[in-house]
A and B are shown apart, each in its own frame.
Chain A
Amino acid sequence: MAEASAARSLLANLHRRARFGFVDVALWGLRIAVVAVIAAGTAGTLIKGRYGVGDWFDFLTYGVTMGSVYALIALGYTMVYGVLRLINFAHGDIMMTGAFSGYFLAAHFDQTGFLRREPALAMLAVLALGVATSTTVALLTERFAYRPFRRVRGLAPLICAIGVSFFLEQSFRGAFGSGVHAYPDTKWQNETVSVFGFGVPVVEIIVVAIAVASMTVLYLIVQRTRMGAAMRAVSEDAEAAAMMGIDVDRVIVFTFALGGAMAGVAGVCYAFVFKQVYFFMGFTPGVKAFGAAVLGGIGSVPGAMLAGLFLGVVESVGPALFLDGIGIPAPYQLRDLIAFTLLIMVLIFRPYGIMGERMARKRA
């Protein structure tokens, strides 16, 4: 009996091995190659000792700041996908509208001197206008562009989203020109404070604080309010939620409003740090944030937050840590390569994202 059982087990193993085809070998090769590059690069960089603790701290700080912005934008992608199964490719441009409106108010405050006299109030007002603008644009987009496609299956809603993206970009280009506008720069924003003995620009601390506060509020809304529960219900099964008496339209509108508000916060934070606005500014962070949403498990709110931060840090630290050590010249030219390699690796090996599994199990 035991011999027969062993033979059956051997046959089963052989059968499994026979199914281990070329694609599996290639994927394992890719895994090994990426891990080898990371390990060799990290070892090489650390052995070279080119960067001190202060430099690594700076890389980390810049990464967290950028990652906070990615996370805020990614939330809009992931929430809309959760309730509508729509990838809102115009979301990066909705962020741009918030940054632009904030710029005009900030420039006005700068001219009148209000920005220097009452910096906190001025920044709050700029933030409020940015949030209001992005939320309004998001709601208008939902009402006039996406709602007519609500029951349409196929690629039409996605194409519509791309169309909305072009519409917003070109409208702002037509209205405000194609040049780059500089956000007002006040002295106190560039001052540094000591964190663990290292200097960190005040503006970056403010941006991270605003992002964390916004994400906390959003998380509480989603997890602790009736509307948040309704959002989660629609996200799980819109038809069942409707049968239980949930007004799905209202939930969708609320989701767009929340996503728009987060995009507004992101736009103004982005402009506070990088101090430039122009009509195409939403595209690249939008794509990266979409990557973060996928990385975190699209549809997952905590996933988007964590993945946004993770992407920002990897982009900032990665070129110095992984590429410098293996002698790649000008490693920061390849930071997008690192970000998108990360995305591709996740899509190949964990298509449901970092936090996606928990949600999938729950749904199951």
Chain B
Amino acid sequence: MTYHDRLIISTCTALVLIALAAPPAARAAETKGPVTDPIGVVTIPKGAPIQFGGYWVMSGADSALGIDEKRGVELAIKDEGGMLLGHPIKLNVEDDGCNAEGGQTAATKLAADPNAVIVLGPACSSAATPGAPILWKAGVVDVATATTAPSLTAPDRKPEYDGFVRTIYSDIDQGAADAKYVYDVVKARKIVTVHDGSPYAQQLAAVMADNFKKLGGEVLSVEAVSPTEVDMHPVLTRIATEKPDMIYAPVFVAAGAQLLRQEKDTPGLGNVPLIGSSGQMAPDIISAAGQAVVGYRITYPDVSPEAMGAGYPKLVKEYTDTYGEPPISGYHANAYDAAVLAMKAIEQVAKTDASGATYIGRKALRDAVLTIKFDGVSGPIACDSHGECAKFKPAVYEFTNADPSTFKIGVNPKKVWPQSSSASAQ
């Protein structure tokens, strides 16, 4: 190897090391047309589409969550006539698989598009946790539609989540409401919680357990299973040794269905109620659990017409007319409001020049999202400074039929708590 070769190799190595060691460069201020923005400007030529990204779980046992939310966004865009500021709206959707790897991949792909104005979704906190920082690093605001993990909008969240907002409640609220229901209504005093290691399930189980203990209850143990685990018998046998009054398992469809089926066969647990949560509101839980689903209760936001915004019945009719079936999950209204929030924010900050091109400042868009308030179809939307834009209205639903074709929120499963009169009072 000659001196020249060694010099080239050393220089390249040094450059690579410097590149790896250096902190990521701050996005530079940019001026395009009439807009100057500290982190960048998106230019949309006349007639070109405004690019909306979307990432949801579109396959697997939890796909009803993602498909339902995508439909909510599509309906919001349709209600705007598919146009915004004279540009057609184009929705580019990626499947995140409701897991961290999928969220990272989907967000990376969406962030790589320099014309992406804003991203909607995801449904799962597992996907949002790695996805949101990737998007915000590229200056793209992420309006989530059903991710409820408290850490995503916590006051102490890291700066890389500054571009993340959501039109869905935090599990801080749901955990507290679930604990109250279990303590006051079910009258359970000793419980076991089961999570699947996902940010959603783990954080919701922890918040619920904390609140339950504050109410005077005892959490005998915190158990965990893998989201794809099929053999729940050993963990259920372990739980049975603790003799709980109730098992609280806010996991997703596949694991939830296995827990439900196998719990009934486990000695000592035959009469111990199992309560699930919002990750299981989908027809797939009926398909997966079969007959065991009858009588199964899950805690969920109250999506009865009296608890939702004024426009909700119209949205349900439009949904049913467009897709030929009633809503397949319960977050289409939150997704609808996410899209409305995005469109309102774009309208507020976009500027158009004489050629008809539209310019949107990225930081300005994020700031606008945080300040806009409106009465959405899911309820009032008003973000706090950490991106939390919605409130939780508690309810409990019970499955009444093992035929998946009977799935209709409010019918199967039917709302069993609170009763309608109290629901309307909230």
Q: Which residues of A contact B (CB under 8 A)?
A: 50-52, 54-55, 58-59, 62-63, 66, 173, 178-185, 190, 199, 201, 274-276, 278, 280-281, 284, 315-317, 319-320, 324, 329-333, 335-336
In the complex, how many angstroms separate the beta carbon of A186 from the nearest chain B beta carbon? 9
Contacts A54-B267, A179-B287, A182-B289; is A336 near B226 (CB within 8 Å)?
A: yes
Other than the given A54-B267, A178-B61, A182-B290, 15 more pairs (CB < 8 A) read: A58-B267, A178-B59, A179-B287, A180-B253, A182-B288, A190-B265, A274-B230, A276-B254, A280-B60, A280-B228, A315-B231, A316-B231, A330-B222, A332-B234, A335-B226
In the assembled complex, which residues on chain B have CB atoms less than 8 Å from the CB atom of A183? 290
The answer to whether A332 and B258 have CB atoms under 8 Å apart is: no
Alpha-carbon separation in the docked complex, A164 to B226 (Å): 26
Is B223 interfacial (CB 8 A cutoff)?
yes
In the complex, how many angstroms separate the beta carbon of A166 from the nearest chain B beta carbon? 14
The answer to whether A274 and B231 have CB atoms under 8 Å apart is: yes
Rank and list the top 5 A-B pairs by shortest CB-CB distance, nearest first.
Answer: A182-B290, A333-B224, A330-B224, A180-B288, A332-B235
In the assembled complex, which residues on chain B have CB atoms less than 8 Å from the CB atom of A274? 230-231, 258
In the complex, how many angstroms separate the beta carbon of B3 from the nearest chain A beta carbon? 36
Which residues between 348 and 392 of chain B lie within 8 Å of chain A, taking CB atoms?
none
Which residues between 52 and 76 of chain B lie within 8 Å of chain A, taking CB atoms?
59-61, 63
Contacts A185-B292, A332-B234; is A178 near B60 (CB within 8 Å)?
A: yes
1/0 contact string of B270-313 vs chain A (CB within 8 Å): 00000000000000100111111000000000000000000000
Contacts A58-B267, A179-B61, A184-B290; is A276 near B238 (CB within 8 Å)?
A: no
Alpha-carbon separation in the docked complex, A218 to B326 (Å): 51
In the complex, how many angstroms separate the beta carbon of B175 from the nearest chain A beta carbon? 18
Alpha-carbon separation in the docked complex, A188 to B228 (Å): 27
Alpha-carbon separation in the docked complex, A332 to B226 (Å): 9
The answer to whether A62 and B231 have CB atoms under 8 Å apart is: yes
Alpha-carbon separation in the docked complex, A336 to B222 (Å): 18
Alpha-carbon separation in the docked complex, A253 to B354 (Å): 73
Alpha-carbon separation in the docked complex, A333 to B194 (Å): 10
Is B92 interfacial (CB 8 A cutoff)?
no
The answer to whether A330 and B223 have CB atoms under 8 Å apart is: yes
Alpha-carbon separation in the docked complex, A199 to B233 (Å): 14
Interface size class of B (residues with CB under 8 A): 35 or more
In the assembled complex, which residues on chain A have CB atoms less than 8 Å from the CB atom of B224? 330, 332-333
Other-chain residue from B60, B222, B234 in contact with A62 (beta carbon distance below 8 A): B234
In the assembled complex, which residues on chain B have CB atoms less than 8 Å from the CB atom of A51? 238, 241
In the assembled complex, which residues on chain B have CB atoms less than 8 Å from the CB atom of A281? 230
Identify 16 residue pairs between A and B in the complex whose beta-carbon atoms are under 8 Å apart, listed by A's number: A55-B241, A59-B237, A66-B231, A178-B61, A180-B253, A183-B290, A185-B261, A185-B290, A201-B265, A278-B60, A278-B254, A316-B231, A332-B223, A333-B223, A333-B224, A333-B225
Q: Which residue of B lies closest to A110 (CB)?
A: B290
In the assembled complex, which residues on chain A have CB atoms less than 8 Å from the CB atom of B241? 50-52, 55
Alpha-carbon separation in the docked complex, A96 to B41 (Å): 50
Is B177 interfacial (CB 8 A cutoff)?
no
Alpha-carbon separation in the docked complex, A180 to B288 (Å): 5
Which residues between 195 and 221 of chain B lie within 8 Å of chain A, taking CB atoms?
197, 221
Alpha-carbon separation in the docked complex, A51 to B237 (Å): 9
Is B344 interfacial (CB 8 A cutoff)?
no
In the complex, how many angstroms separate the beta carbon of A306 from the nearest chain B beta carbon? 20
In the assembled complex, which residues on chain B have CB atoms less than 8 Å from the CB atom of A55? 237-238, 240-241
In the assembled complex, which residues on chain A have CB atoms less than 8 Å from the CB atom of B240? 55
Other-chain residue from A59, A173, A181 in contact with B234 (beta carbon distance below 8 A): A59
Q: Which residue of A lies closest to B262 (CB)?
A: A274
Contacts A180-B284, A183-B290; is A190 near B237 (CB within 8 Å)?
A: no
The answer to whether A275 and B261 have CB atoms under 8 Å apart is: yes
The answer to whether B265 and A180 have CB atoms under 8 Å apart is: no
In the assembled complex, which residues on chain B have CB atoms less than 8 Å from the CB atom of A335? 226, 234
Q: Which residue of B lies closest to A285 (CB)?
A: B230
The answer to whether A276 and B258 have CB atoms under 8 Å apart is: yes
The answer to whether A199 and B230 have CB atoms under 8 Å apart is: no
Alpha-carbon separation in the docked complex, A267 to B287 (Å): 19
The answer to whether B287 and A182 have CB atoms under 8 Å apart is: yes
Alpha-carbon separation in the docked complex, A67 to B412 (Å): 37
In the assembled complex, which residues on chain A have CB atoms less than 8 Å from the CB atom of B135? none
The answer to whether B222 and A333 have CB atoms under 8 Å apart is: no
In the assembled complex, which residues on chain A have CB atoms less than 8 Å from the CB atom of B231? 62, 66, 274, 315-316
Q: Which residue of B lies closest to A51 (CB)?
A: B241
The answer to whether B222 and A329 have CB atoms under 8 Å apart is: yes
Alpha-carbon separation in the docked complex, A29 to B225 (Å): 30
In the assembled complex, which residues on chain B have CB atoms less than 8 Å from the CB atom of A52? 241
In the complex, how many angstroms separate the beta carbon of A11 from the nearest chain B beta carbon? 42
Is B264 interfacial (CB 8 A cutoff)?
yes
Alpha-carbon separation in the docked complex, A315 to B228 (Å): 15
Alpha-carbon separation in the docked complex, A317 to B233 (Å): 11
Alpha-carbon separation in the docked complex, A190 to B290 (Å): 14
Alpha-carbon separation in the docked complex, A66 to B254 (Å): 18
The answer to whether A190 and B63 have CB atoms under 8 Å apart is: no
Alpha-carbon separation in the docked complex, A179 to B288 (Å): 8
Contacts A179-B287, A276-B288, A332-B223; is A320 near B234 (CB within 8 Å)?
A: yes
The answer to whether B287 and A180 have CB atoms under 8 Å apart is: yes
Alpha-carbon separation in the docked complex, A59 to B224 (Å): 17
Alpha-carbon separation in the docked complex, A62 to B288 (Å): 21
Other-chain residue from B222, B233, B264, B287 in contact with A58 (beta carbon distance below 8 A): B233
Alpha-carbon separation in the docked complex, A54 to B240 (Å): 11
Which residues between 96 and 139 of chain B lie within 8 Å of chain A, taking CB atoms?
none
In the assembled complex, which residues on chain B have CB atoms less than 8 Å from the CB atom of A178? 59-61, 63
Is B396 interfacial (CB 8 A cutoff)?
no
Alpha-carbon separation in the docked complex, A54 to B60 (Å): 37
Alpha-carbon separation in the docked complex, A275 to B260 (Å): 12
